[in-house]
Amino acid sequence: MMGTKKFIEERRKKNQRQKNLMLVMMIGGSVIMVGALIAAILTSGRVKISQKDLIQSKVNPALNVEGNVLGNSTAPVVIEEYSDFGCTYCADFALGTKKIIEESYIANGQVKLVFHSVGGLLKAPATFQAAEAAYCAADQDAFWPYHDLIFINQLELFQNRSADITPALKQIATALELDQDLFISCLENGTYQDLVAADEVNARQNGITGTPAFLINGVIVRGNQPLETFQQLIEEELVKAGQEVSSK
């Protein structure tokens, strides 16, 4: 398994390589090539992920997991996360800061994290579909591994936000060794469309206007803030609850 920092670094390098390629093509006056590339992206109807990119993030098997909830149900601090699978800052939190919060606070029962998908802010159908797929994976106790794989492969999945990402979502399910018949039936029947829509309503009712955003025992945090911001708020709430602060 690759480390969290390496996941993030590789994502950034891949993104930069794409930007550099486009810049070189523009400077060289390759108008035809640029036009062809754009046309190819816009007309590509179905997204697939190369096998080498299906790298899995390690989920701590000792953590309490129930669907989209991570951590002890009686934890004194509850973090409600509002995230968009197509949002790069959300990916940075999911693959970086969240992992440290897991190790420092969730694993010892002090924090519970609840994930809510908010794809409507970017008006991208593909992110709705990704959220539905993650909830379908939850039926097989695989919400969080599926969640991680979406974010790890975010660039491939959402570079064309109007494309059909169904093949890629099925690939992820295969990589996680899910029951394909159950997963595909869940996804194609729109089993969790209402739940994804409810996430959107929940976000708007709580004043969420961008992603990522968080409610830490009701205190709103907007954006992928530094780890220290989360630590400070979490530990303030732990003190209020009369618990010892035992962050690593």
Instruction: Flag whether 49 is in a domain.
Output: yes
Kindly report whether the peptide bond that precedes residue 212 is cis, defined as omega within 30 degrees of 0.
Answer: yes
User: In the sheet where 111-117 sits, what is the strand order?
Assistant: 65-66, 69-70, 111-117, 77-83, 213-216, 219-222
Confidence of residue 164 (pLDDT cuts 50, 70, 90): confident
Instruction: Flag whether 245 is in a domain.
Output: no
CB burial readout 220-234, b (16+ within 10 A) else e: ebeebeeeeebbebb
In angstroms, the CA 200 to CA 120 distance is 7
The stretch 56-60 carries a mean pLDDT of 60
pTM: predicted TM-score of the whole model, two decimal places: 0.78
Instruction: Flag whether 173 is in a domain.
Output: yes
Confidence of residue 64 (pLDDT cuts 50, 70, 90): confident
Instruction: Flag whether 193 is in a domain.
Output: yes
What pLDDT is recorded for position 16?
A: 59
Range of the domain at 93: 4-240
One-letter amino acid identity for 177? E
> Over the stretch 114-136, which tens digit does the pLDDT of each residue have?
999 997 665 677 888 999 999 99
The stretch 226-245 carries a mean pLDDT of 93
Instruction: Flag whether 247 is in a domain.
Output: no
Instruction: Flag whether 246 is in a domain.
Output: no
Confidence of residue 26 (pLDDT cuts 50, 70, 90): very low
Confidence of residue 137 (pLDDT cuts 50, 70, 90): very high
What pLDDT is recorded for position 56?
A: 59
Q: Which two tokens stand for residue 241?
A: 């609850």
> Over the stretch 93-111, which tens digit does the pLDDT of each residue have?
999 999 999 999 999 999 9
Pair 124, 211: CB distance under 8 Å: no
Better-scored residue on pLDDT, 2 or 122:
122
Instruction: Flag whether 213 is in a domain.
Output: yes
Question: What's the CATH number where 213 sits?
Answer: 3.40.30.10
The tally of domains found in the chain comes to: 1
Instruction: Flag whether 99 is in a domain.
Output: yes
H helix runs in 69-124, sequence order: 88-92, 98-101
